[in-house]
Amino acid sequence: MPHALIRLIDDWLGRERSCACGRTHAVTTRVARFDDRAGSAVVEFLRSLNGVMSALVVADARTARVADAVASTLSSAGVRAGGHVFGSRASGSLVADERSVATLDSAVRDARPQCLVGVGSGTINDLCKTIASAHAVPYVCCPTAASMNGYTSTVASLKRSGLKVTDPVRAPDAVMVDLDVIRRAPAMMAAAGVADLLSKFVTAADWTLARMIEGGYHCDVPANMAARATDAVVDGLDAIGEGSAEGAHTVSAALILSGLSMAVAGSSAPASGAEHLISHYWDMCVPDAAGVRLHGTQVGVGTLISATLYEILREVDPATIDPAAAAGIVSPIDTIEADLGDHFGDAAPAVIEQARRKYRTPVQVHARAAVIKDRWPAIWATVAPALKSSAEIRELLRRVGAPTTLDELHLAFDDGLNALRWSRHIRARYTVFDFASDIGLFGADRRLALLRRSGVIAG
């Protein structure tokens, strides 16, 4: 069992600490349990909240049966438990967009619960965090799958005006995991959770690059928390793949810890980089008609692409970096905005706002490329220790049964190329895509070579 992970989680729950980075790290989640049985731990937690006697149990069609069991347990304990179930299986996958947010907001206004209880995975959790924060009511998260690491984070991934955004929210007050429920989930859900955590092998490098190139905030404390979570799933990969109780416990605890790393950092930076932008792009622009894609599985393929780009860049002789040439291929911002408008349609205004925030003029790119060229050895000495090769990551993904190709995600060759061309613009965060662009090595021919070398396509 993941005793070391549990101790580290417990050490942060409900804590506030000053840090050498200059910030005070705070975790508002107070309880994380891995022994819930049909809401029994939820009842215990609500009893600790003086005066909380009503709750709204939120689920979707896939998790409604588990939600019914939780609501029944609450009712038996004297808690007035209403329910809200999104859609039906026939209506397709639930999306955390403006419409779903408004629907849950209306349900909360009508029911006026003293607490929200979310029973589901990523989308339910994002919606509940958003509405619980807006209404200032406690929120208890009951995960139904070990599929992603956002349960305890302080951001919610939403689609707004067609753009995937991460809004700041309150983390859940408690997370109650029923390991029997986790084990009953489809095996691909745990594979997605592992794939989400394996992205740490490139997100750590992206976060470091952002600090070195742009002077952005970075702290070793949340970075190390995220690394511990990833190391734990790598060590426990066989048990996770077998679907054992120990494996379910390990991956669940690792995902909770990874989420806490984001809460400590105050952003998703410890666990989200270029590979997540690829996943967000596919969510925005390539509807999942087959219903086979999960956030984590998309991230896993994106991680292979990102890791491969790091390998390509590491092979570059800094003497060949030409700041003037890099500056010479920078498009005017008006041209970029027009292209984004053509590609993203209704989502273009939101994308353009993000793209403007990190646009650099030819003069600025010339200066930045010169600095990168001069600091090349120092950059790689700092970034390289965080990286793992694409071959190693591919093997880890395969061991747990996670997809490693576009075809397995029901995505086409052009979907991969388009993700490389456009995804860097949808978030102002600096990643390896921007690093390659800054030195003139992210043009169309380079993107094609990257996609082929990454092994995510055949041929």
- Cβ(57)–Cβ(200) under 8 Å? no
Closest CA to 29 of 261, 228, 202: 261
Residue ranges of the alpha helices (H) in 236-294?
237-242, 245-265, 274-285
Q: Residue 54's beta-bridge partner residues?
A: 80
The answer regarding whether domain 3-187+242-252 maps to CATH 3.30.1600.10 reads no
Compute the distance between CA of residue 25 and CA of residue 263 in angstroms, rounded to an integer: 8
Minimal CA–CA distance to 429: which of 157, 201, 210, 161?
210
Amino acid at 117: V
Task: Give the class (CATH, top level) of 273-453.
Answer: mainly alpha
**What does the alpha-carbon distance between residue 305 and residue 457 come to, in Å, rounded to a whole number?**
11
Residue for token pair 């790091």: 310
CA distance 34 to 249: 7
CB 138 within 8 A of CB 52: yes
With 0-12 / 13-18 / 19 or more C-beta atoms within 10 angstroms meaning exposed / middle / buried, residue 148 is buried
d(Cα 387, Cα 207) in Å, to the nearest integer? Answer: 12
Could you give the 3-state DSSP secondary structure of residue 165? strand
Helix/strand/coil for 173: coil
Mapped onto helix, strand or coil, the DSSP state of residue 23 is coil
Per-residue confidence in pLDDT tens, the chain, 459 aa: 688 999 999 999 999 999 999 999 999 999 999 999 999 999 999 999 988 899 999 999 999 999 999 999 999 999 999 999 998 655 567 889 999 999 999 999 999 999 999 999 999 999 999 999 999 999 999 999 999 999 999 999 999 888 888 899 999 999 999 999 999 999 999 999 999 999 999 999 999 999 999 999 999 999 999 999 999 999 999 999 999 999 999 999 999 999 999 999 999 999 999 999 999 999 999 988 677 899 999 999 999 999 999 999 999 999 999 999 999 999 999 999 999 999 999 999 999 999 999 999 999 999 999 999 999 999 999 999 999 999 999 999 999 999 999 999 999 999 999 999 999 999 999 999 999 999 999 999 999 999 999 999 975
Query: What local confidence, expressed as pLDDT, does residue 2 receive?
Result: 85
* CA 277 – CA 246 distance, rounded (Å): 32
Enumerate the CATH 3.40.50.1970 domain ranges in the chain, comma separated. 3-187+242-252
Q: What is the C-alpha separation between 326 and 123, in angstroms, rounded?
A: 40
Dist CA 158 CA 166 (whole Å): 6
- How far apart (Å, rounded) are the C-alpha atoms in residues 299 and 278? 7
CATH 1.20.1090 domain position(s) in the chain? 273-453
Amino acid in position 7:
R
- Measuring CA to CA, which residue among 84, 60, 62 is closest to residue 71? 84
Structure tokens given for 118: 């979310």
Q: What is the pLDDT of residue 271?
A: 94
379, 382, 386, 392 alpha-carbon torsion, rounded to 10° = 60
Q: What is the pLDDT of residue 92?
A: 60
pLDDT value of residue 150: 92
